[in-house]
């Protein structure tokens, strides 16, 4: 019997371009913003390089937005399958975080490239859009998980945190926009809105994190390709510490006392213990990754989990260094930034290599007549 041949599909087709690819934008943008948060004498030396990295992140964002638009227009069936796949749907939070990361970077270092006025305008647009998408994802993805995905507690992974962390990114990148608003109601409203986003994301994360930790302790190690996602837990920890530091920076003269002073107190009383837990989790995730490497873990798109979450820990430690004046926090920020740069370089090299080989966008290659279900491994674009 003669069977019909599968139609030729270009290995760089956007059909299999999932929302997880926005992690490349997040991981690139955070290299720029984290570098700008380092102790004062270092960013000045790195400034041209940081501006160049931010420009690269901006170009990546525009490219991916265009490619994903084509994906939705030409491959709507695959796009719907991504939404209905519990392994892929949480990555829709990455779209919001990519917009927010580039917007925050515009004000931090991008102004050196495009000017202050353009940077403020770009940040305002991306902050507004990213926040709206992030809030939508924070509602829609858990709703789909409850009514359509039929997930089990034993399937919990740190990827579930992604749509819940997006509002925390808004909370961290919003306060730098406060001084650019008219004094009075507008400034105070934005600052307190960001504080509300902080609470929303923090409480949702506190509900989800025990499921992830329980799965890790009772269900054994994650699959090899998913092991790098353990670093995603650092995202809400580092980003929330960054956010309270940003509140303390923006609050004086914006909210009445004693609330302005209270934000400064919160930056230290919240940031210190959370940073301690982040250090614990960093070590736990690192030993799991070391074990996975010994068992044959190879590059996949999940390796981008080593970038953005670590970058938030850099900005969080930098905020603590500013508000405590302690070298004990400034020095680790420099060390973590070195780790971030190495992780980013490794992820970039693996991604470029996978694209050139046609392995990251080639699709899972189902058997003839039997479509292969989406899994965490296939949707992460693992390189075999």
Q: What is the pLDDT of residues 242-288, one digit of tens each?
A: 999 999 999 999 999 899 899 999 999 999 999 999 999 999 999 99
Q: How far apart are CA 379 and CA 360, in angstroms?
A: 10
Q: CA dist 98 to 25, 34, 130, Å?
A: 6, 15, 8
Q: Provide long-range contacts, Cβ within 8 A and 24+ apart, for 371-379.
A: 374/81, 374/82, 374/85, 374/87, 374/88, 375/87, 376/87, 376/157, 376/159, 376/223, 376/225, 376/226, 377/223, 377/225, 377/226, 377/300, 379/18, 379/20, 379/82, 379/85, 379/87, 379/88, 379/91
Over residues 107-147, the pLDDT tens digits come to 999 999 999 999 999 999 999 999 999 999 999 999 998 88
Set out the domains of the chain in order of their start, with CATH numbers.
14-363 (1.50.10.150)
Q: Rounded to the nearest 5 degrees, what angle is found at the Cα of 229, between the Cα atoms of 352 and 51? A: 50
CA–chain centroid gap for 309, Å, is: 6
Please report how the helices 308-324 and 327-356 are oriented relative to each other, as an axis angle in degrees rounded to 10: 160
Phi and psi based region of residue 365 (left: phi greater than 0; alpha: psi -120 to 50; beta: remaining) = left
Rounded Cα gap, residues 23 and 347, in angstroms? 10
Contact criterion met (CB below 8 Å) for 361 and 17 = yes
Confidence label for 45 from pLDDT (cuts 50, 70 and 90) = low
- Model pTM score: 0.89
How are the residues of the chain apportioned to helix, strand and coil, as percentages rounded to the nearest 5?
80, 0, 20
End-to-end CA distance of the chain: 32
pLDDT confidence bin for 44, thresholds 50/70/90:
low
Interval 182-212: pLDDT, tens:
999 999 999 999 999 999 999 999 999 999 9
């Amino acid at each position: 019997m003669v069977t019909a041949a599968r139609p030729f599909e270009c290995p760089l087709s956007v059909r299999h371009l999932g929302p997880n690819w926005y992690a490349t934008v997040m991981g690139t943008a955070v290299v720029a913003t984290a570098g700008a948060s380092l102790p004062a004498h270092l960013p000045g030396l790195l400034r041209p390089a940081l501006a160049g990295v931010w420009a690269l992140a901006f170009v990546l964002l525009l490219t991916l937005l265009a490619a994903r638009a084509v994906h939705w227009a030409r491959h709507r069936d695959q796009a719907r399958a991504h939404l209905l796949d519990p392994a892929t749907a949480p990555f829709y939070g990455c779209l919001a975080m990519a917009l927010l990361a580039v917007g925050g970077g515009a004000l931090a270092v991008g102004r050196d490239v495009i000017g202050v006025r353009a940077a403020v305008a770009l940040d305002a647009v991306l902050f507004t859009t990213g926040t709206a998408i992030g809030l939508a994802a924070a509602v829609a993805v858990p709703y789909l998980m409850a009514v359509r995905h039929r997930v089990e507690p034993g399937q919990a992974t740190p990827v579930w945190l992604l749509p819940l962390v997006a509002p925390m990114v808004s909370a961290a990148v919003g306060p730098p926009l406060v001084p650019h608003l008219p004094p009075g109601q507008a400034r105070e409203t934005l600052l307190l809105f960001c504080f509300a986003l902080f609470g929303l994301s923090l409480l949702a994360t506190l509900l989800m994190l025990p499921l992830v930790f329980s799965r890790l302790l009772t269900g054994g190690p994650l699959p090899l390709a998913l092991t790098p996602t353990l670093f995603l837990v650092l995202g809400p920890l580092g980003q929330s510490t960054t956010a309270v530091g940003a509140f303390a920076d923006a609050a004086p003269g914006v909210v009445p006392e004693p609330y302005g002073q209270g934000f400064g107190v919160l930056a230290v009383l919240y940031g210190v213990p959370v940073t301690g837990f982040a250090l614990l989790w960093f070590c736990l995730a690192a030993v799991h990754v070391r074990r996975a490497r010994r068992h044959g873990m190879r590059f996949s798109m999940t390796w981008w989990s080593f970038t953005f979450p670590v970058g938030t820990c850099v900005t969080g430690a930098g905020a603590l260094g500013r508000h405590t004046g302690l070298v004990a926090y400034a020095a680790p920020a420099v060390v973590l930034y070195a780790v971030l740069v190495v992780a980013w370089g490794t992820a970039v090299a693996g991604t470029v290599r996978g694209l050139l080989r046609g392995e990251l966008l080639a699709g899972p290659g189902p058997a003839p007549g039997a479509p292969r279900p989406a899994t965490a491994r296939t949707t992460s674009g693992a390189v075999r």
